[in-house]
Amino acid sequence: MDSPLQVDSNLPVNIGTLACVLVLISAFVMLGFSTKSASKNASSSLYLPSRIPIFGNTLSFAMNVGRYHEWVTGHSLERDGQPFALNLVGKSDVVYVSRPEHFEEILKTQNKNFIKSDSVRDTFDDFLGENIVLLNGEQWKFHRKVMVNLLTPRALREYITPVVQEKVLVLRNVLNEASRAKQTFDMNKLIRQFTLDTFVEIGLGCKLNLLTSGEEHPFEIAFDEANHLTSKRFSTPTWIWKPMRWLNIGSERRLRDAIGEMNEFIVNLIMDAMEQVSSLKESATENHRTCKNIITILLNNDQGIAPTLVRDIVLTGLEAGRNTTADTLVWLFHALSLNPRVEKKLRDEILTKMPKFKESDTYVPTYEEIQDLPYMEATIQETFRLFPSVPVIPYHCACDTVLKDGTFIPAGVDVFLYLYGAGRLASVWGLHVLSFMPERFLDEETGKLLQDPPAKNWAFGTGPRLCVGRNLAMVELKMVIATVVSQFTLAEEPGQDVQPIVDLTLTMKNPLMMRVEAAN
């Protein structure tokens, strides 16, 4: 008589291995519960309703993970941005914060109480290594000092801006060809290739030529894959993705492969740069410190920096600069295509301030010429408000904290600054909160940018963790916007499903198919 439980001997996982996996998963679950029981909970009034015993809000979260921003924003608007908490199996409780006054306290006045958690660093560590966004204490101070020294005003003018100008001219030529051929193209893909092209040359000194090759580069594929699969860890319980990583299966295997290919590309460039720097120093030439990219600047440091640290610092710049800048530009172009009044007003300002656009097919504005463009800055700020490139900024409450309005946040919970929801609060931005209106950031009488707008825009943060690369980001944004909007009108193909994917940044889920015509 056959046994009621039959096992195919050809299966790659035997009963012993399966039992080990189940024990391991159970251990992670119990660890999650024990960690929670050891910490205090937030006030019960903060939690969303319909919590299920043991599971908390886990099932509701899982059912809505595909529409994460819509779901979380809905709860935020119901409370007018006041904090609310989620109770999730195997994770620390999460308090979502959307009010500007709470951002100010967490990022500035009480910033010492809020740190980057070990769990967040653990989630990103395989991909990003020692990243300034994930660090605390002396490590964070060291990395911030390095980044500040790399992105000086002199560096922006002398070696970063020329790279951006060169890439912007290539982008203009590509759009000219699309305009002449009346081609429909994916603006999302084009801009992401542009920003990766730009930041790889700034950081690594390598020309990928993505805009002109017509093909995807292996590094581009690996980098995007690593981004996406790392973000999946946020919506996956630790006790699931860690065993998968240990077993090297599924998405964790794909992540390991992507990181491996990405690292091989970066490390090879670092080794080449080390040889060049060493030979220049040995030849004792006076110009051996003339550097054109971040790698050579770091390696020229007389104190010496390990190649692994160079990799982490360069990747920090790539991750922070490439994706956030691309996402901002794509959402801005999407908004302009739906708001021709804003597009025309922006074009008028650009052509008034930079008439050379009318005279030359190869003109790209200089660093100095893009400084006085109030309507453009307001348009960028409005894009940050509705489409923040980093929609969620995670922190961890290190000690019991009481906010000014009396909200109690206990030690041990995660605190998510929800920028996406903050930009949609009518109590902060007015009745036309969902309208794309750059004028809300301008003085009605003078037309100048408001120094103290009704609500601050938190795209670059504030306090000690104010974004180091904000000036670089603004240079690239302004140069691209000035060139594209001055030369072309943007027309979005109708009937598209335009929404963000759940990712580390506010990346569009689908292609953004557009056409451009010469703006005569």
DSSP line for 199-230: HHHHHH-----HHHH-S--HHHHHHHHHHHHH
Q: How many CB atoms lie within 10 A of CB 309?
A: 16
Q: Which pLDDT score, from 0 to 100, does residue 44 have?
A: 62
**C-beta separation of 425 from 81 below 8 A:** yes
Q: How many CB atoms lie within 10 A of CB 10?
A: 5
What is the pLDDT, as a whole number, of residue 90? Answer: 74
> Are 254 and 225 in contact, with CB atoms under 8 Å apart?
yes
Q: Domains in the chain, start-ordered, CATH in brackets?
A: 40-518 (1.10.630.10)
Give bridge partners of residue 396 from the DSSP assignment: 115, 414
Give, for 414, the enclosing helix (H) or strand (E): strand 414-418
pLDDT (tens place) for every residue of the chain, 520 residues total: 443 333 333 333 343 433 343 333 343 343 344 344 334 555 566 877 667 777 888 888 888 888 999 999 999 999 999 999 998 887 778 999 999 999 999 999 999 999 998 888 999 999 998 888 889 999 999 889 888 888 889 889 988 999 999 999 999 999 999 999 999 999 999 999 999 999 999 988 889 999 998 788 999 999 999 999 998 898 788 889 999 999 999 999 999 999 999 999 998 888 888 777 777 666 655 554 455 778 887 777 655 677 788 888 888 888 888 899 999 999 999 999 999 999 999 999 999 999 999 998 899 999 999 999 999 999 999 999 999 999 999 999 999 999 999 999 999 999 999 999 999 999 999 989 999 999 999 999 899 998 876 567 788 888 899 889 999 999 999 999 999 999 999 999 999 999 998 888 999 999 999 999 998 7
pLDDT of 25: 39
pLDDT of the residue at 42: 59
Q: What is the pLDDT of residue 319?
A: 85
pLDDT at 275: 79
Distance in angstroms between the alpha carbons of the first and the last residue of the chain: 85
- Please give the distance of CA 56 from its chain centroid, rounded to a whole number: 29
Cβ burial of 144 (10 Å; 0-12, 13-18, 19+) is middle
- Side chain identity at residue 183, one-letter code: Q
pLDDT at 285: 53
Helix (H) or strand (E) holding 158: none
Rounded to whole angstroms, how far apart are CA atoms 174 and 144? 36
In whole angstroms, give the CA distance from residue 243 to residue 293. 39
How many angstroms separate the CA atoms of 213 and 455, rounded? 44
* Res 11: pLDDT: 34
Residues in Cβ contact with 428 at an 8 Å cutoff, skipping those fewer than 6 apart: 81, 99, 100, 422, 454, 455
pLDDT for res 39:
44
So what's the pLDDT on residue 5?
A: 31
Residue 137 — left, alpha, or beta (φ > 0 → left; ψ -120 to 50 → alpha)?
left
Give the global pTM.
0.88
pLDDT, one tens digit per residue, over 274-314 is: 777 777 666 655 554 455 778 887 777 655 677 788 888 88
Q: Is residue 494 within 8 Å of 341, Cβ to Cβ?
A: no
Residue 494: Cβ within 10 Å count: 6
399 is in an annotated binding site: no
For residue 319, give the 3-state DSSP assignment.
helix
What is the reported pLDDT for 354?
A: 96
Residue closest to 246 by CA, chosen among 362, 413, 89, 126? 126
Distance CA 90, CA 36 (A): 8
